[in-house]
Amino acid sequence: MNLKDDLGPILISSQQIHQRVVQLGAEITHNYQDSDLVLVSILKGGTVFLADLMREIKIPLTIDFMCISSYGLSSDKYGVVRITKDLDQSIESRDVIIVEDIIDTGLTLRYILKNLRAREPKSLEVCTLLDKSARRIADIKIKYKGFDIKDKYVVGYGLDYRQQKRNLPHIYELDESLLKS
Ligand code: IMP
Ligand code: MG
C-alpha cells in the first residue's frame, strides 16, 4: 500500500491552499482586533487547517478541540451526532470561530452550532476550508470559506478516506472507482 494509491487528480495544490489560508488569516486578524478569540477545531479533519490558519492570525488567541461521531447516512439516526470529546475551556462571552475541514450536508455543523450557541459565546462564526454545497441539507451561515468544491470525495490536507491519506499536502480527488465498490 502506497500513500498515493487510489488518488485522482490534484484538486487544490498546497500552494493554492497556502495562499488562501494567508488571506483568511488576514481577514480574521482584521475582524477580531481586541477580542477574546477561541478557535475550535473539530477532530480530526480540521487539525491541519487549524495548524496553518492559526499561524496566519496575528492577534492573541486560544485553541480548543471537539470530537464528535456521527451515525452513517444509511442509519435511521441520520443527522444525529454525539460529542466524544468536549471543549476544555468555557466559551461564555468569548468570540468563537469553528474551524472545519469541509462542510458537506451541514448536519454535523448544525448540531455543533446549536450546542455551542447554548453556551452563550459573545460571537460564533464558521471558518471552513472547503464548501461542498451540492449536498447541503442544513442551512449554515459560513462567514469564512477557503474554496467551493463540486460534489467529489476529496482527501489530503487533513481529509481522510477510511482514516488514511490525511498527511497528503495537496487536496486530491479520490479515484472514482473506489467509491463504487
Ligand atoms: P456533514 O455533516 O455532511 O457536513 O459532514 C461533514 C464531515 O464529513 C466533514 O467534517 C468530513 O469529516 C466528512 N466529509 C464530507 N465530505 C468529505 C470528503 O469529500 N472527504 C473527506 N471527508 C469528508
Ligand atoms: Mg470534519
CATH number of the domain at 110, please.
3.40.50.2020
Q: Whose CA is nearest to atom 16 of ligand 1?
A: 104
Tell me what pLDDT residue 60 has. Answer: 98
pLDDT, tens digit, 9 for 90 and up, residues 30-83 = 999 999 999 999 999 999 999 999 999 999 999 999 999 876 555 555 667 889
Dihedral, CA atoms, 102, 108, 113, 116, nearest 10 degrees?
-110
Core vs surface per residue 131-153: b (16+ CB within 10 A) or e: bbbeeeeeebebebbbbebeeeb
Distance CA 52, CA 37 (A): 16
With beta carbons less than 8 A apart as the criterion, state whether 66 and 43 touch. yes
173: in domain: no
Tell whether ligand 1 has an atom less than 6 A from the beta carbon of residue 124: no
What total number of domains does the chain contain?
Answer: 1
Question: Taking the model in full, what pTM does it have?
Answer: 0.94
Q: Kindly give the number of the ligand 1 atom that is closest to the alpha carbon of 106.
A: 4
Q: Which three cell numbers stand for residue 15?
A: 500552494
125: in domain: yes
pLDDT, tens digit, 9 for 90 and up, residues 6-34 = 999 999 999 999 999 999 999 999 999 99
44: in domain: yes
10: in domain: no
Q: Kindly give the number of the ligand 1 atom that is closest to the alpha carbon of 42.
A: 10
Q: Containing domain of residue 70, as a range?
A: 15-151
In the residue annotation, 139 being an active-site residue is answered as: no
